[in-house]
């Protein structure tokens, strides 16, 4: 199970933030808008990741990742991270906005 630590952490983030959609975030209901917000940013950060890995700025403990590598020796977990973290941020933003709007209209 240790090899799935990083992936399980990311899964936990998705599970924890999923209810925000029902609290008014309205993010997963706009999949195209979500993709246009998350994917370009993920590409830039993957490029940064690739450079940092090649330069030895950071390394991944083989014990806690699956070992599946993308091009440029990027662990697949990193791609998941760059998708999951912004989605969680947008869900939070959507939910906060919905709650502030509800407070205003009361």
Partner 1 sequence: MTGLGYTLPAIAAVLAVCAWELLALRTGLFRRPAYWLTMLIVLGFQIPVDGWLTKLSAPVVEYSATQVSGLRGPWDIPVEDFLFGFALVTAALLLWERQRKCDRRPAPASGRRPAERAESR
The C-alpha angle 89, 78, 93, rounded to 5 degrees, equals: 5
80 binds partner 1 (CB under 8 A): no
User: DSSP state, 63?
Assistant: T
Q: Which of 4, 21, 23, 60 binds partner 1 (CB under 8 A)?
A: 60
50 binds partner 1 (CB under 8 A): no
57 binds partner 1 (CB under 8 A): yes
- Residue (of 69, 58, 63, 76) closest to 7 by Cα position: 76
Q: Which of 1, 15, 31, 61 binds partner 1 (CB under 8 A)?
A: 61
């Amino acid at each position: 199970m240790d090899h799935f630590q990083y992936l399980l952490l990311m899964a936990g983030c998705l599970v924890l933030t999923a209810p925000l959609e029902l609290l008014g975030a309205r993010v997963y209901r706009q999949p195209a808008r979500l993709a246009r917000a998350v994917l370009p940013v993920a590409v830039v950060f993957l490029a940064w990741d690739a450079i940092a890995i090649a330069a030895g700025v950071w390394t991944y403990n083989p014990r806690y990742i699956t070992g599946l590598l993308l091009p440029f020796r990027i662990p697949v977990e990193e791609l998941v991270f760059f998708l999951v973290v912004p989605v969680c941020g947008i869900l939070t933003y959507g939910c906060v906005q919905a709650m502030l709007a509800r407070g205003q209209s009361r």
